[in-house]
Amino acid sequence: MARLSENKIILVTRATRLEELVARFNTEGQARFYVEHLGADFSDYEAEDRTYKNSLREVEAQLHEMGRLQVLDRHFLPNFIFGAEDTVVVLGQDGLVANTLKYLQEHPVVAINPDPARWDGVLLPFGVQDVSKVVRDVFGNRRKMREITMARAELNNGQHLYGVNDLFIGQRTHISARYMVEIGGDSEQQSSSGIIVSTGLGSTGWFKSIMAGAMGIGKALGQSMRADMVGSFAWEANYLYYTVREPFPSRYSSTQMVFGELTREKPMRLVSQMPENGVIFSDGIEQDYLEFNSATHAVITVAEKKGHLVV
């Protein structure tokens, strides 16, 4: 069968929980012993692995018929160079879609749910059976795209990092992070458990849990809070929200700037006061981070690029 396109199709995958256990314990038998020895059900790991691999085989077969296919494990995303005309297909959970989007430019992303019985798939609008039709439509420019706003952190040494759901700025460990923060001309010294900067896409995750906790505390203290703030905001919103976790007031540190909106016109500027273990990471991927130690400056703002999810 003739190819529909000579451009590459990049299929992004991830290891299953079973594969990660085998990598840790060397054999499936040892992995089974470990899980069952602790009283857990190993068959659930096997079922998940079997379903994902069946889906992967089916998706690969469909994509091979349409173009030049390259399968890419998520661990190689930070160093992989995507071609400008590549079409990207993601087979996995929502987190894999988010982690892929931040390494792309204008690439359309077709997100496939490999196991609808297991994963809700907020970012996974298609099933395995849809792959051929959807990718053909993408090649023919017959599919709409939903834009996704990202956050960007840039350091004064030129390094930068994107966040599709959120950015975390703070200590690698659980000790307090110390830094100076400036937004819109106001500034203060802070000591906290770190700062979370959330996008609209991420507002149903970390942001929502922080706001729900704040609302519960306010209610217990007899204080009202806007109920709508606990909900999400639009994926394509041109702003971010920041929240400071557990800010600590002292002679040195203040707590007046603990929540608010960030835009390109009103970014957040930070100066680290942490001798070591200061980090900025995104989307819960702690291994992919920027060092944020003493005297390092960071600017947090709405990213200049957006993600494009095929719908």
CA dist., res. 101 & res. 23, Å (int): 27
* 248, HSE (Cβ side, Cα atoms, 13 Å): 12
Q: Do residues 154 and 304 make contact, with C-beta atoms less than 8 angstroms apart?
A: no
CA dist., res. 215 & res. 227, Å (int): 8
CA dist., res. 17 & res. 49, Å (int): 7
Residue type, 297: H
Residue type, 19: E
Strand, coil or helix: what is 138? helix
Contacts of 37 (CB under 8 A, 6+ apart): none
CA dist., res. 272 & res. 270, Å (int): 6
Query: What is the pLDDT, as a whole number, of residue 1?
Result: 47
Domains of the chain: 8-143 (3.40.50), 149-303 (2.60.200.30)
What's the token pair of residue 33? 């012993």
Q: From 108, 140, 99, 141, select the one nearest 126 (Cα to Cα).
A: 108
CA dist., res. 238 & res. 259, Å (int): 17
CA dist., res. 273 & res. 286, Å (int): 20
Query: What is the pLDDT, as a whole number, of residue 299?
Result: 98
Q: What is the pLDDT along the chain (311 residues), one digit of tens a residue?
A: 456 666 799 999 999 999 999 999 999 999 999 999 999 999 999 999 999 999 999 999 999 989 899 999 999 998 899 999 999 999 999 999 999 999 999 899 999 999 999 998 889 999 999 999 999 999 999 999 999 999 999 999 999 999 999 999 999 988 999 999 999 999 999 999 999 999 999 988 888 888 888 888 888 888 766 655 566 789 999 999 999 999 999 999 999 999 999 999 999 999 999 999 999 999 888 888 999 999 999 999 999 999 999 99
Query: What is the pLDDT, as a whole number, of residue 231?
Result: 66
The distance between the two most distant Cα atoms of the chain, rounded to a whole number of Å, is: 73
Three-state secondary structure of 97-119:
HHHHHCCCCCCEEEEEECCCCCC
140: left (phi over 0), alpha (psi -120 to 50) or beta: alpha
What's the token pair of residue 182? 């400036």
Write down the pTM of the prediction: 0.88
- Our CA dihedral for 310, 84, 78, 268, rounded to 10 degrees, sits at -70
Q: Contacts by 229-233 with C-beta closer than 8 Å and gap 24+?
A: 231/203, 232/200, 232/203, 232/204, 232/207, 232/208, 233/200, 233/203
* Count of C-beta atoms within a 10 Å radius of residue 157: 10
Contacts of 127 (CB under 8 A, 6+ apart): 112, 113, 116
Query: What is the pLDDT, as a whole number, of residue 218?
Result: 81
* 148, HSE (Cβ side, Cα atoms, 13 Å): 30
User: Angle 157-163-168 (CA atoms, 0-180°, nearest 5)?
Assistant: 75
